[in-house]
A and B are shown apart, each in its own frame.
Chain A
C-alpha cells in the first residue's frame, strides 16, 4: 500500500521535517517577534510589553542605519562582482583544456571550506602587520615599509575588503550553477549563431545570456540570501569595526542582543531582515514556477 492510501505513514514520514522547522525555525522566529515588543534583557526575569518602543529606538540609532546601508552595499555589491566573475569563469571552464579539472577543483575550494576558516585566512591576508598583500606591495616598491594601507582599519578599505571576501566565497557556488546552465544549452544554438554570423560578444549577450536568465536569477537569489543573512565574515574580519563602519544587520543584532544583553533590541534588529527575505523568497518561488512551466 502506498503512502497516499495511508495518512498515518505519511504523517510519520513528514514528522522529522515538520518538527525540525517548528523547533529550530518557527520557535525562535516567534520568540524574536515576542521579544521585539518587550523589554527583555539577559539576566532579567521580568518582561513588560513596550509596544513599538524597541523599533523606535533602533531607527534612531546611527549604528542601525549604517548596518542597513552596509547590508545592502555588501549584498548588492558582492552579487554584481560574483555574477561578472562567475560568468567569465563559466565561459572559460566550459571549453576543454589541459588542467581544466585542477582549475575547476581550485575554483570550488572556497565553497567547500567552512566560512569561519576562510574568513580567518582572509583576516591574516588583510592583517595590519602580517598582510601578504601589503608585503607584496612593499616588495614591489609601491609603498614604503609600514606605510601600506590598513585593509581592515580604514572604513572604506574595510567595506571593500568585506565585500570582496563575500564575493570570493560565493563565486564557486555561482560558477557551478552557471556552468550547469551553460552546459544545458544545446550546442546547436551557439553554432547556429556562429553560422548566422554572430561573433563572440553577440553570441554571449544576445543569445546565451538571455537564455541563461532563469538560472542566473537562481544564483543571484541564493547569493542574496547567503550574503544578507551572513554575519560570520563581518564578525571575524572586523567585528563590525572600525567605528561600526562595516556593521551589518545580523552582526549588529548579535552585538546588541547577545553581547550587549539587550535581547529586545537585538530581536527588533533581526526582524528588520524579514521584509527583504520575504521579497527574495517570493521571487525565488516565481522563478522556480516559471522554470517548471516552460
Chain B
C-alpha cells in the first residue's frame, strides 16, 4: 500500500483555462524520497498543496495510507509540510514553534518536552530553543521548520522548495543535511523543486512536470540517461541535451558524449564542428559551435569536455558521438522511440 497515491488528479483554477495540474497519477514507495521537478508554473507546488489539503482538487482522488482523503482537512491527513518561507510563527520561541503541532493535536502535555527535545536534538538545534525565529539564520530556520514537521512523527513529509531561500553556499550543506536527515528518519518524503541539481542529488525518483502534465517518473539515472521525451531531455542537464531534427526523428545526445573523434572508440557517428565559443568552468569546458557539412549543417550544438586544450576559436574539428549514446524521439509526438542506425554525414 502506497503512503501517498493520486489518481487522475486535476486542478483547474479558472474555468475554461488550462489546468494547473492535469490528470496526474502517481504512487510513492515506502520510505522513498520523491522529487517533483519542473520549471515555475509547472504545477508542482499545486500538486503538493492538493496532497497537503491546502487546495481542493477539481477532479481525481488523493489517497494517503490507502484511504481517499479528498474531503479531509490538512489536520486530518496527518501529514507534515515544510514551506518555502518556513512559515515559522514569529511570536513564538523555537521551543513553542516545535511544540505547536503537539498542542494542536492535543497530545498530552507531559510528553511535549521529551518530544520537542528529541526533534531538536535530531536537527542539532537544542541550544536554540529559547530564541525567536527572527534571531535565527536561514539555515537554523530551516532546521526549526524540519523539527516542527518531524515532532509529530508523520506518515509523510511534504517539502516545498525548502532550500530556495538559502544562499548558494549554505544550500549545498543544507542539501546534504536533508539527505542525511531523510536517511535517519526514513519517512516517505515528497520534495518540490525547480532545481535539477537538487532533484538529481536527493531524489530516489524524480517526477518531471511541465504545464501540469507528468512527463516522466523515474530514477535520476532514468530521467537523465533515458528521457521520456524532448521536454525532459532539454530540461535536465546544463547545458541541456543536444536535440537535432533528422527526417521524421529528433536525435538527442548529451554534451558530454560529443567529444573529439580521436577520443571516441567503438561504433560512433561523426560530425565536423566549427568552434564558436569556449567557456572554462574549472572542472570542465563547455564548447559550443555549429555543425559544418553533412545532414546537420549549421545546427548549433554543445560539447562538455574535461579539457579543451588543442581547440581554438573558429577552428573546425572532427567530433563524434558513440552510437549507444544517441537518443531518438518521434518528431510529431516528441516521445522517445527505439534506437536505430543513423548517419549524420
Contact = CB atoms under 8 A, between A and B. Distances in A.
B89 interface: yes
Contacts of B89: 189, 192-193, 207, 211
B104 A197 contact: yes
Interface in A174-197: 186, 188-189, 191-197
A282 B310 CA distance: 76
Given A186-B85, A207-B89, A211-B90, A198 B54 contact: no
A10 interface: no
B231 interface: no
A207 to B, nearest CB: 6
B90 A191 contact: no
A270 to B, nearest CB: 40
Interface string B235-264: 000000000000000000000000000000
Contacts of B104: 193, 196-199, 202
A198 B100 CA distance: 8
Nearest to B75: A197
Contact of B75 (A186, A189, A198, A210): A198
B90 A195 contact: no
Taking chain A's interface residues, is the majority helix, strand, or loop, or is none over half, making it mixed? helix
B121 interface: no
Interface in B71-99: 73-75, 79-81, 83-85, 87, 89-92
A190 to B, nearest CB: 9
Nearest to B158: A195
A196 B148 contact: yes
A199 to B, nearest CB: 7
Interface string B306-341: 000000000000000000000000000000000000
Q: Which of A188, A199, A202 has the most CB of B within 10 A?
A: A188
A226 B85 CA distance: 39
A1 B105 CA distance: 63
A16 B298 CA distance: 73
Contacts of A192: 81, 83, 87, 89
Interface in B10-61: 52-54
B75 A199 contact: yes
B101 interface: yes
A142 to B, nearest CB: 42
Nearest to B89: A207
Given A188-B83, A188-B85, A202-B104, A195 B54 contact: yes
Contact of B91 (A194, A196, A199, A211): A211
A294 interface: yes
A185 to B, nearest CB: 9
A195 B79 contact: yes
B74 A194 contact: yes
Interface in B130-182: 134, 148, 152
Contacts of B101: 196-197
Given A191-B83, A199-B75, A202-B103, 16 more contacts: A186-B87, A191-B74, A191-B87, A192-B87, A194-B53, A195-B52, A195-B53, A195-B79, A196-B104, A196-B105, A196-B148, A197-B74, A198-B75, A198-B104, A211-B89, A294-B134
Interface of B: 52-54, 73-75, 79-81, 83-85, 87, 89-92, 100-101, 103-105, 134, 148, 152
27 contacts: A186-B87, A188-B87, A189-B89, A191-B74, A191-B83, A191-B87, A192-B81, A193-B100, A193-B104, A194-B53, A194-B54, A194-B74, A194-B75, A195-B75, A196-B101, A197-B74, A197-B105, A197-B152, A198-B104, A202-B103, A206-B103, A207-B89, A210-B91, A210-B92, A211-B89, A211-B91, A213-B91
Interface of A: 186, 188-189, 191-199, 202, 206-207, 210-211, 213, 294
